[in-house]
Amino acid sequence: METIVLYVLGIAIVLVGLLVSIGLHELGHLVPAKIFGVRVGQYMIGFGRTLFSFRRGETEYGIKALPLGGYISMSGMYPPVAGGQARTASTGFFQAMVQDARTASAETVAVGEDHRSFYRLAVWKRIIVMCGGPFMNLVIAVVLYAVVLCGFGIAQVSTTVGTVSECVLPATSTRQVCEPGDPVSPSSQAGFEPGDRLVSIDGVRIASWAQATGIIEDSPGKRLSVVVERHGTEVTLQATPMLSERYLTDSSGTVMKNAQGEPMTEQLGFLGIGAAYEKVPQPLTAVLPAVGDNVGAVVGMVVTLPQRMVDVANAAFGPGPRDPNGPVGLVGVGRLAGEVASLHTVPIVDRIELLVNIVAALNVALLVLNLVPLLPFDGGHIAGALWEGIRRFFAKLFRRPDPGPVDVARLMPLTLVVVVVLGAMSLLLVYADLVKPIDLFG
């Protein structure tokens, strides 16, 4: 019962984090829009039927039934005319769609308040309004990564002994468990215990586990005097590393092979101790690079999204596993959050950290996706404003008439295609997350 409660709690925490992130994203649009005088009719979190709303001034604030996004309704998102010339509706489906978008936009303009329309704003003001949402997601991500990196810290190899091997097994052995007759490890013979902190080896002060490993590997058959701190007291142990064989690996950890295709091995000194990991708080200077790395990873995923979705389809309808680094939908995110919260083998502090990481990653995803230069994303309006600014700049430079606002409504057919594709991908991810979820915890 406790596992189920924790599972549901994990989902609820991430869902609330997502809703708050969406609300702040829309607030990032709302505040500059109101500062610049744009009339905002609605501020809504979610889509579909309104569950709760209230009105303050000219704006209705509320929550809708489907928490799959949010929006603010700004007056006059699209210009009713392009270049100052009136338009007439065509009988074609796409032309009618464009005209319907203009008509719906015109209906949001109150009588005598056309000057408060979004399309009337200066180009730089429109860019600020549309960048406000992604900027809020960036701020949230930075704050959450600061909590994770500077508050919880990053697990790093310490100079403390985490494991002590009971025996020595050759590199070619397929066993992981000691059996009678196996040679006792030098660390067991010397009396090492988990929790011992390495102080010095043969008089050399130990500052890192890599330093200690280097000394041990270079000293097969040599008796070493090892000073460890145990329960606040320094203890001197006598240990002799034995000559041991292990596989050679490259920088990625892959076992290297010789010309005959056989695994390559090397002989090194071996004690049989493993390092413990400890959380080390990072400086504030580590936050922005971490966010930048995450942004870069999401951008790479978006660029390769078609192939990644093909891989998801192949895994969902075939025998192959899901790529743990591939795209995941809201159902998958919810499952991961539930699994994280119900991991009894992980300390609760680490579970909280993982949940915070999930919400931070969601905000990075919202940041990148909303900057895609296509409608209905914020990037589509930003691209339209930039194009309008370029046109007006060159018109002024060459003393030509003002070309007027860019008719972004003409992109509605492309917007429909984008929405359909997004819907299809979302359905595929929901199916894949249900029948073949990504397994990060075995």
pLDDT at residue number 386? 94
Instruction: Give bridge partners of residue 89 from the DSSP assignment.
Output: none
pLDDT at residue number 160? 93
Q: Are residues 166 and 131 in the same domain?
A: no
Global model pTM greater than 0.85: no
Q: Are residues 143 and 172 in the same domain?
A: no
Final residue of a domain: which of 280, 310, 345?
Answer: 280
**Domain contains 398:** yes
**Domain contains 141:** yes
Contact 384, 130 (CB under 8 A): no
**Domain contains 94:** yes
pLDDT at 91 over 70: no
pLDDT at residue number 403? 87
> What's the sign of the alpha-carbon dihedral 184, 190, 193, 199?
negative
Final residue of a domain: which of 280, 302, 330?
Answer: 280
pLDDT at residue number 441? 61
CA distance 166 to 179: 10
**Domain contains 45:** no
DSSP structural state of residue 183: P
The residue ranges of DSSP E strands in 136-212, in sequence order, are: 154-164, 197-201, 204-205
Q: Mapping DSSP to helix (H, G, I), strand (E, B) and coil, where does residue 209 land? A: helix
Q: Are residues 140 and 268 in the same domain?
A: no
CA atoms within 13 A on the CB side of 25: 29
Final residue of a domain: which of 280, 308, 337?
Answer: 280
**Domain contains 26:** yes
φ, ψ dihedrals at 404, nearest 5°: 80, 180
Q: Are residues 10 and 94 in the same domain?
A: yes
DSSP structural state of residue 372: S
Q: Are residues 171 and 107 in the same domain?
A: no
**Domain contains 294:** no
Per residue in 232-263, pLDDT (tens digit) is: 999 999 999 988 766 677 766 677 777 777 77
**Domain contains 313:** no
- Total domain count, the chain: 2
Q: Are residues 118 and 201 in the same domain?
A: no
φ, ψ dihedrals at 27, nearest 5°: -65, -35
Residues whose CB falls within 8 Å of the CB of residue 202, separated by 6 or more in sequence, listed in order: 215, 224, 225
Q: Are residues 242 and 162 in the same domain?
A: yes
Q: Are residues 127 and 178 in the same domain?
A: no
DSSP structural state of residue 253: S
Active site (catalytic) residues: 26
Q: Identify the CATH number of the domain in which residue 208 sits.
A: 2.30.42.10
Q: What would the two tokens of residue 310 be? A: 């093909």
Q: Are residues 144 and 166 in the same domain?
A: no
Q: Are residues 195 and 274 in the same domain?
A: yes
Tell me the average pLDDT across 364-368.
95
Q: Among the listed ranges 147-156, 157-166, 316-325, 391-400, which one has the minimum average pLDDT value?
A: 316-325
Q: Are residues 121 and 197 in the same domain?
A: no
**Domain contains 289:** no
Rounded to the nearest integer, the mean pLDDT of the chain is 87
pLDDT at residue number 251? 67
Q: Are residues 198 and 83 in the same domain?
A: no
H or E element at residue 238: strand 233-239
Owning domain of residue 86? 2-39+75-148+358-435
Residues whose CB falls within 8 Å of the CB of residue 15, separated by 6 or more in sequence, listed in order: 67, 334
- The band of 404, judged by pLDDT with boundaries at 50, 70 and 90, is confident
CA distance 187 to 168: 10
pLDDT at residue number 249? 72
φ, ψ dihedrals at 79, nearest 5°: -70, 140
